[in-house]
Chain A
């Protein structure tokens, strides 16, 4: 495996995508006026951070951290399982936060009949 030559490309691809996702999400959360779009932005930030964490745990040439019958005797190099477990937790918590936030948006829509934060007076910044 001659990954050494295009290692920089891989770094740029993974870290670059993750950081770009974080920035896109933050932009959407700060600029957009619809509550649904703000929530979509926050979800995109979530995905970007998860991708960043998983790519930190990657090991060049490493296999998935599973001792399946095919690899258990060969003792291969494995990627770091700790970030993967952390990201599993983070995804679930992200889901819970998104669900509660959407419920609050529904509640706001019931009260104000709009999801535009310009029209909901006490949500302006």
Chain B
């Protein structure tokens, strides 16, 4: 009976979704004259000298929003720690040691994965990628190690320091713009030539900070979750 009700509800939702989106032509140029897309693309190319315009939107035009976004990530990591906290931290580990092949392979791949993550967030303003993507790649490296070695330890102190310093860098770069008589998060460094590694002013620096922050936070989340112990009923 409940399934029937749910299916009727979903049919109504589907009807309206299809009705709305059949009126938006896929791949059609909907912008005429002055529009937000061309404005962003033009600004990104000529005023900021950032070749990846998604990066310039995320970090510059909507930089304040990104600051809120990393705050949400930080809050999620903190909430996870406080929800899963247990005073007595002994019990049977859920994880077991992987085989020798997996362990050696994980050891071999760990450094290249970190390098790839660093490459992705350092070149966030030049090629597809950026702080969030690079940080996630770094966290997958730590996930691999955590899965291969059941007693792999990540220091929460170091993670907190990396996270705090990266967040502080982001906020203080924004405030420096404010102090120099511009707006919050406005660029105050030379912008260089487009498609150089050192171009775009503060955008690469902020994205590198975001990369460190996201990497540390995701590693912390994975570590907290994987450290969950099996407790016997007593």
Contact = CB atoms under 8 A, between A and B. Distances in A.
Given A64-B128, A69-B195, A26 B27 contact: no
B91 to A, nearest CB: 11
A65 B26 contact: no
Which of A60, A84, A103, A113 gathers most chain B CB within 10 Å? A103
B132 to A, nearest CB: 6
Given A31-B2, A92-B73, A68 B51 contact: yes
A106 B27 contact: no
Contacts of A84: 54
Please tell me the size bucket of the interface on B.
35 or more
A88 B132 contact: yes
Interface in A23-56: 23, 26-27, 30-31, 52, 55-56
Contact of B194 (A72, A91, A103): A72
Contact of B127 (A3, A55, A61, A66): A66
Contact of B231 (A22, A52, A110): A110
Interface residues of A, number: 51
B132 A67 contact: no
Q: Is the interface of B mostly helix, strand, loop or mixed?
A: helix
Contacts of A60: 27-29
Interface in A90-121: 91-93, 95-97, 99-100, 102-104, 106-107, 110, 113
B84 interface: yes
Contacts of B17: 19, 22
Which of A58, A66, A97, A107 gathers most chain B CB within 10 Å? A66
Given A27-B6, A59-B29, A91-B132, 15 more contacts: A10-B26, A22-B13, A55-B26, A66-B54, A81-B54, A85-B57, A88-B54, A88-B130, A89-B58, A96-B75, A96-B76, A97-B76, A99-B76, A103-B84, A103-B224
Interface of A: 3, 7, 10-11, 14-15, 19, 22-23, 26-27, 30-31, 52, 55-56, 58-61, 64-69, 72, 77-78, 80-82, 84-85, 88-89, 91-93, 95-97, 99-100, 102-104, 106-107, 110, 113
